[in-house]
Structure 1
Amino acid sequence: MNRPEKGMQFAKNIKVIDWLKTDMLNQIANLFKGLYYANRHILIDSLSSLIVSTYILARRMGLSFRELDQAIIDKLREHKNEGHQLEQWYGDLSSLEEYMNKR
């Protein structure tokens, strides 16, 4: 690959990263609308879109899906060990960690 092609690829990657960031902001706005209207379809759609965009953004930034999964599991364990309230009140962190480990 010659120099101009590398530059074009870099510029394209930056553009995709910016697009993903704006898409994530849009999905957060949609999530808030779903919460406001108590609309299950909007909630599921916006949350799933956020997760997909997060994984793709990580990949565009040079991280693998596996690395992101492991970082999530590590973060869950860290929060559990620190006595996070969601774990104390509902056991949410343990439930998510168990789910991710079974995948």
Structure 2
Amino acid sequence: MDKDVDLAKRVKVIEWLKTEIVDQVAHLLRAIWEGSQNKMIDALASLISSGYILGRRLGIPLRSLDEAIMEKMKKHRADGHQLEDWYGDISALEEHISKR
């Protein structure tokens, strides 16, 4: 019986986190529309932290997410991603993550 309760709780938490992510995207879009930097920062922080926590609840180590982000940035840079070419965003994110 305890296993069933634990499984139901885990599923409920995952579903809740998924709705949090959607809600934070809506908050972010509203903040962008309003031009409020403080609200944008808050929404982005909530969105990123919810993504990490959802990954953890799905059994993905936080370090693995960081490594996957780094690999994705390396690939984007190697492929000549426009954000890297125009603004250097990809290498800036790589540098930020590597300094953690």
TM-score by length of 1: 0.94
2:87 counterpart letter in structure 1: Y
Q: Deviations over 1:30-53 (max 9, x none)?
A: 101100010011100000000110
Identity percentage over the alignment?
A: 48
* Match for residue 80 of structure 1 among 66, 77, 80: 77
Please list every run of 5 or more consecutive structure 1 residues that lacks an aligned counterpart in the other structure: none
Which residue of structure 2 lines up, in the alignment, with residue 64 of structure 1?
61
1:26 aligns with 2:23: yes
SS in 1 for 2:80: coil
2:65 counterpart letter in structure 1: L
1:47 aligns with 2:60: no
Q: CA RMSD in A?
A: 0.6
Which residue of structure 1 lines up, in the alignment, with residue 96 of structure 2?
99
Matched pairs, number: 100
Give, in whole Å, the separation in 2 of the partners of 1:79 and 1:35: 25
Question: Structure 1 residue runs of 4+, over 6 Å off?
Answer: none
Which residue of structure 2 lines up, in the alignment, with residue 10 of structure 1?
7
TM-score by length of 2: 0.97
Which residue of structure 1 lines up, in the alignment, with residue 35 of structure 2?
38
1:8 positional shift: 1.2
SS in 1 for 2:59: coil
1:91 positional shift: 0.6
